[in-house]
Structure 1
Amino acid sequence: MAALHYTIRPVDPAAHLFEVELELDAPQSGMRFSLPVWIPGSYMIREFARNIVWLRAEADGTSVPIAKTDKHRWQLGKLPAGASSLKISYAVYAWDLSVRCAHLDRSHGFFNGTQVFIAVEGREHQPHRVTIDAPSDPALSDWIVATALPEAGAPRHGFGDYEAASYDELIDHPVEMGRLTRFEFQVRGVPHEFFINGAHDCDTARLAVDLEKACTEQCALFGDAPPPFARYVFLTTVIGEGHGGLEHRASTALLASRNDLPWRGMKKPSEGYIGFLGLCSHEYLHSWNVKRIKPAAFKPYDLAQENYTKLLWLFEGFTSYYDDLALVRAGLISPDEYLKIVAKTVNGVRRAAGRKVQSLTESSFDAWIKYYRQDENSPNAIVSYYTKGALVALCLDLALREKSGGERSLDDVMRHLWAQRGEDSAGVAEDEMPEIIRAATGIDLGRLVHALTEGCEELPLQKVLHGVGVELAWDAESEAPVLGAKTAADGDQLRLVNVYPDGPAHRAGLSAGDTLIALDGLRISASRLDGLLARHAAGDVLKVHAFRRDELIETELVLAEPEAIKAKLSLAARASAPVRARRNAWLGQS
């Protein structure tokens, strides 16, 4: 028996239950065990221990006491004299269809180690052996296993023994099991496997070719060496509607709409497929940027509580910048298609009033309580370190290109980060990025970095884009006047989802959650709103009837002009030769 040996079994797919056994030698009375309360890459306390259904312990075959001491820890009681081995058994309820937790039914099984493997405190750095058992139901005998976890006797894609050098490595290799579609491609001699769970009509040959191009481009960002793993695995679950990903050291877990996958005969890439390629590109780049180049605050992770950093704009924002940029550089989308994606990002940031009150460093620090726990006021109070962080990366990249005459770029910064802050380094300190940029490029952008990340002023997009021959124009999203609120259909009624500060709905005393029932004495619904607004002009006064809970509200609302917040990006027709050269280098065009 290995020093630490887990066995995990999909004992009851219909009840969504995994059973886990943890065996260890040389047990001691009072030993403590714990389960993480969050998973790296998803910055919210999730309290995985709530899914433990039951737990018991026995030493040398005899039951011994084990008590819970807080929400995620257990402590062993007094052991019999001379006890040489300990087994802890427990059941895990797995019914969270996401990339963060665990899910089990008769169609497949999936788990992250943070939800199913209890840690032995003080022994986290020992080797950890895992036996993954097959389901006992003969109808599921054709299931296979997909994981980047190193085999220790198990056949490739089979049930059996796997191993990890430490607990940290153990929980960084998610596992998928089921009837999976599989294909493979190579990046610089390293095998990359892609698995799909769920009904689909994917053109896997096309997806393999396109992913190989995107991954090769991301690898090239960091130099000429092979990627920093021996094998990489994409684990994808497809459903009717879904989108999400979570990075790991040699794999990623993805959730996607089946309609976003390419189909045989598809000619031009659909918007959904481009988005899916961007998602794969994003999670793949994380293999460098956050899995190995980390904030100093994450070295090591403390999985018992929040780990605060002001740098998520770097680790998520820069990754969000390069995920789509890699697609145009790899020739998977055109420059015009790429500019449409950037414009969509600009629009998302510009629509949210939260950009005026929360800085990127504040957004990063407060991710634990704000970004991952959004409510009806979030658009007015927060800014996304993903989307605004991507635009900050764009601003820094284009500023470096212009100041250096095209000789330096953000690519140099990423390569410098990999060389100096990758793998076994101490990580990136909270206020270190201006010096890292200067060391990588010889250019001092300290004041700009501070303004873009610590302040709430509008980003200098027009200026930096002009430097690469891209024109930015602003339009209103509609010709009709606006309510100053986001609405949604609620059955046959119209509900206010968000009310924007200083807008017509706000000034009229309306709030998120209110249900509009009549405007100017006429019943209103989601299907009728646009037509009604089109018949009015800014400044018109509407009499509003609404329900707040079960109480009727009567008020007057003054319609406003729509804001010019819709960005349109286009290649400048008359850019100079140096500007065109910088643009081509930026977009990877010959």
Structure 2
Amino acid sequence: MNLNLLLILFASAFVSAQTNTYTISFENAVHHEATIQAKFTNLENDTLSLRMSRTSPGRYALHEFAKNVYGFKATDSSGKELTVIRPDPYQWLVSGHDGTINIQYTLFANRGDGTYSQVDETHSHLNIPATFMFAPGLKERKIEVDFNVREDLGWKVATQLPLVSGTTYSAPNLYYFMDSPVEISNYSVREFKVGPNNNEQTIQLVLHHNGSEEELDQYFEQVKSVVIAEEKVYGELPKFDYGRYTFLACYIPNASGDGMEHRNSTILTSTTALADGGMKGNIGTVSHEFFHAWNVERLRPKALEPFDFEEANMSGELWFAEGFTSYYTGLSLCRAGILSADEYIEGITGTFNYVWNSPGRQFFNPVEMSYQAPFVDAATSVDPVNRGNTFISYYSYGSILGLALDLSLRENDLTLDDYMKHMWSTMGKPEKPYTLHNLREGLQVYAGENFADQFFDKYIFDSQMPDYRSLLETVGVILEQSKSRPHFGVNVSLNGDGNGEISSTPKIGSPAYRAELEEGDIITQINGENFPNGQQFTEFIGGLKIGDQLNITFERFGIQKSTQVTLEADPSYSLYTFEKKGQKPSKKQLKKRENWLWSK
């Protein structure tokens, strides 16, 4: 045997010894269980720490995945049972091995979304951190996992992980493994190639649904148009690690609505079938998550790098990472021809009102709103919170600030598209994680120091409101508030006794708030008359006038009370094109709107 062959065999054996292997099977899928086995070899320390993750890539809050693990066993290479200590709820310390540790456990999984896993007889939908135990001390090792699919159910494997052979896939290290969701089902596939001929990449849609192939074909055309529109923003696709990007979509009744970005793939889940409104209702998640292939996955906040699988992940840049992505979500659908200009512009209204009519701006700026992510990003708690008065989603806040920045730049013959290109070329493409300073510096380079400093000082480090009326007017859009519609300040719904129950937290400063009404109060009379049973409360208030005084009789904790509410003007905004309001935009306004929306 020659020396070169010996070296090759030695290297092969060494790599094998340095590979952590997993096997997962689904014999009891009907009861949402998976059986997982793993093997860790060539161990040098007497004790190996094994953990379940507490977080998941793309999420910022804690999720205690260990709660769904049971039946844990550990043996050495000869089958001898090993000593296991549980120092905390998330960790298993295994000792007494002979250099090899084999483990086995059962996972219960019944939530199909971007954070958790779901196993049943329709599919095995796996988010890796929610599924596989890992060894933090062996995080640089290669990983191989064999998915023992249910052939009787026609299952196939779809994932961004590279295929080894059969149903065995690999990951170069723990981080890539944890970032690689898997859909195992009897799915359908469509794909197309994008990019220059010498550097084409494959965009793949894997869809698990109960619909027809014709519906999938129609939906895939929309997916393609979104991909092309978003590629134009940056001028190129990211370089996907294996030349392929995969949408892993589950539109089935037992899923939970969600979307979750990953480096070369994304999870898309919905209970809405394509035939039942999902053709248009689900495409927004496609738009949002694919934009993340640039903004978040590669143009990435330094605070999230490396991602921590053991603690919550906090970043002050989520107004940009999530918020600007949200701005491009709807804009890309318009540019792709899926939304009309009127649908897009009027669709901004709800988010606009949520942001600018929230009392939360007096407590936190966009950076500080971003810091709240570990408390709100699919986080759970049992105690009531006052977020209706103190929090504005960084998705929404950043989206509406993205609109302001885009229109402001366009007044100077610049665009947000080109600012995003600049940040991509300087930070994203070379994968240099950014800070708030980098975002500000990038805008200074692109648009000038004075422009950038004003934007950051007023709207990012402070909570001021841009002059949207003037900005929107430049593209022939009207922003208005009603001068005659009255406003009460809370949602009120009928209860079973014909009275009205306050079902929302009164916003600070609203008429209901000043009248000291509170969520859960039961309104029994208004101005001496019984609560208007059989009529929507908003319709009842709409029939009154600004300045009307309402004498309210209500019950709180079984005690009758009374107060007086003075109706005020509704602070809600509406957005319309000039044409929708019977006004004619100028040629300049139309041209600016076309450049903004890429109108044909």
**Global fold match (TM > 0.5):** yes
Determine if the alignment matches structure 1 residue 436 to structure 2 residue 451: no
1:522 aligned onto 2:530: yes
Q: How does 1:238-387 map to 2 (within 5 A)?
A: 238-239=251-252, 243-259=257-273, 261=274, 273-370=279-376, 372-373=378-379, 377-387=386-396
Deviation, 1:322, is: 1.1
Q: What is the alpha-carbon root mean square deviation over aligned residues?
A: 2.6
Q: Deviations over 1:399-432 (max 9, x none)?
A: 12212xx2x2111221122222125533111332
Paired AA for residue 173 in structure 2: S
CA drift of 1:575 comes to 4.7
- Give 1:37 shift: 0.9
CA–CA separation in structure 2 for the residues paired with 1:393 and 1:100: 27
CA distance in 2, matches of 1:373, 1:489: 30
In 2 relative to 1, CA 296–226 (structure 1 residues): closer, same or farther, beyond 3 Å? closer
1:72-221 paired onto structure 2 within 5 Å: 72-79=90-97, 83-135=98-150, 140-154=152-166, 160-188=167-195, 189-200=200-211, 203-221=215-233
Structure 1 residue 338, shift from structure 2 partner: 1.7
CA distance in 2, matches of 1:108, 1:85: 32
Code of the residue aligned with 1:357 in structure 2: it is: F
Asked whether 1:64 is paired with 2:82, we answer yes
8 A contact 2:252–2:271 mirrored in 1: yes
The worse-fitting range, judged by mean Cα deviation, of 276-285 and 226-235 is: 226-235
Distance in structure 2 (CA, Å) of the matches to 1:539 and 1:216: 52
Which residue in 2 is equivalent to 1:235? Answer: 248
2 CA distance for matches of 1:392 and 1:142? 47
Change (3 A) 1:214 1:560: same
Query: Identity of counterpart residues, as a percentage?
Result: 26
Q: What residue number does 2:421 align with? A: 415
1:390 correspondence with 2:405: no
Contact map agreement 2:346 2:574 (CA 8 A) in 1: no
- 1:157 maps to none
Determine which of 561, 565, 575 is the counterpart of 2:572. 565
Q: Are the equivalent residues in 1 in contact too, given 2:63–2:379 (CA < 8 A)?
A: no
Code of the aligned partner of 1:85: T
Q: Which of 347-356 and 34-43 deviates more?
A: 347-356
Q: CA contact under 8 A between 1:343 and 1:568: conserved in structure 2?
A: yes
CA distance in 1, matches of 2:236, 2:20: 38
Task: Give the conservation status (yes or no) of the 8 Å contact 2:49–2:94.
Answer: yes
- Taking the aligned partners of 1:523 and 1:385, their CA distance within structure 2 comes to 38
Deviation digits for residues 448-502 of structure 1 (CA, Å, limit 9, x no counterpart)? 12211122222321222233333322237x83x4331123455566432221223
CA distance in 2, matches of 1:168, 1:238: 28
Q: Secondary structure at the match of 2:165?
A: coil
The equivalent of 1:55 in structure 2 is: 72
* Alpha-carbon displacement from aligned partner over 1:89-109 (angstroms, at most 9, x marks no partner): 111110123221011112221
**Within 2, Cα distance between the matches of 1:205 and 1:370?**
36
- Range moving further from structure 2, 21-30 or 507-516: 507-516
CA distance in 2, matches of 1:526, 1:183: 50
Q: Is the 8 A contact 2:32 2:118 kept in 1?
A: yes
- Alignment length (residue pairs): 565
- TM-score, with structure 2 as normaliser: 0.87
Check if 1:484 corresponds to 2:497.
Answer: no
Give yes or no for contact 1:545–1:552 (8 Å, CA) kept in 2. no
Following superposition, the deviation at residue 131 of structure 1 comes to: 0.5
Partners of 1:548 and 1:95 in 2: CA distance: 39
Secondary structure, counterpart of 2:47 in structure 1: coil
C-alpha separation between the residues in 2 aligned to 1:273 and 1:544?
Answer: 46
* Letter paired with 2:38: L
What CA distance in whole angstroms lies between the structure 1 residues aligned with 2:96 and 2:534?
65
What secondary structure does 1:119 align onto?
Answer: coil
In 2, the alpha carbon distance for the partners of 1:491 and 1:13 equals 41
Contact 2:477 2:575 in 1 (8 A): no
Give the secondary structure class of the aligned counterpart of 1:380.
Answer: helix
Structure 1 match to 2:3: none
Matched, 1:31 2:39: no
- Aligned ranges 1:474-513 → 2 under 5 Å: 474-475=481-482, 479=485, 481-488=486-493, 494-496=500-502, 497-513=504-520
**What is aligned with 1:587?**
597
Are the counterparts in 2 of residues 218 and 326 from structure 1 also a CA contact under 8 Å?
yes
Moved more, 535-544 or 410-419: 535-544
The Cα offsets for residues 145-199 of structure 1, whole Å up to 9 and x where unpaired, read as 2222211102xxxxx2000111111111111122323333333342222233343
The separation in 1 between residues aligned to 2:339 and 2:222, in whole angstroms, is 10
Report the CA distance shift for 1:32/1:190 in structure 2 as closer, same or farther (over 3 A). Answer: same
SS at match of 1:432: helix
Would you say 1:462 and 2:480 are equivalent positions? no
Alpha-carbon contact 1:487-1:498 (below 8 Å) kept: no
Partner of 2:57: 40
2:377 and 2:362 map into 1 onto residues whose CA distance is 16
- Look up the match of 1:425: 431
364-373 vs 312-321, which moves further: 364-373
Aligned to 1:22: 38
CA deviation string 1:488-522 (max 9, x = no partner):
45556643222122323223332123333444341
**In the TM superposition, what is the alpha-carbon distance from 1:369 to its structure 2 partner?**
1.9
Opposite residue 595 of structure 2, the aligned amino acid is A
* Structure 1 residue 133 displacement after superposition: 0.8
In the TM superposition, what is the alpha-carbon distance from 1:537 to its structure 2 partner? 3.5
> How far does the alpha carbon of each residue in 1:553-584 deviate from its partner, in whole angstroms, 9 at most, with x for none?
32123241242313223147555555443332
Normalising by structure 1, report the TM-score: 0.89
1:113 partner letter: I
Contact 2:208 2:252 in 1 (8 A): no
Whole-Å separation in 2 of the counterparts to 1:432 and 1:548:
52
Q: In structure 1, what is the Cα distance between the partners aligned to 2:85 and 2:542?
A: 65
Q: Does 1:13 align with 2:35?
A: no
Residues 355-392 of structure 1: CA deviation (Å, up to 9, x unaligned):
34321111001211246558563221111111120111
Q: Structure 2 CA distance, aligned partners of 1:77 and 1:227?
A: 42
Q: Is the 8 A contact 1:247 1:253 kept in 2?
A: yes
Structure 1's 546 and 235: CA in aligned 2 closer, same or farther, altered over 3 A? Answer: farther
Moved more, 162-171 or 347-356: 347-356
Judging by fraction of residues, say which structure has more helix.
Answer: 2
Confirm or deny: 8 A CA contact 1:56 1:90 kept in the other structure. yes
1:71 offset after TM fit, Å? 2.6
Q: Residue 485 of structure 1 aligns to which amino acid in structure 2?
A: V
**How has the CA–CA distance of structure 1 residues 67 and 527 changed in structure 2, closer, same or farther, with 3 Å as cutoff?**
farther
State how far apart, in whole Å, the 2-side matches of 1:76 and 1:335 are.
60
Q: Deviations over 1:522-544 (max 9, x none)?
A: 14557453454355444444444
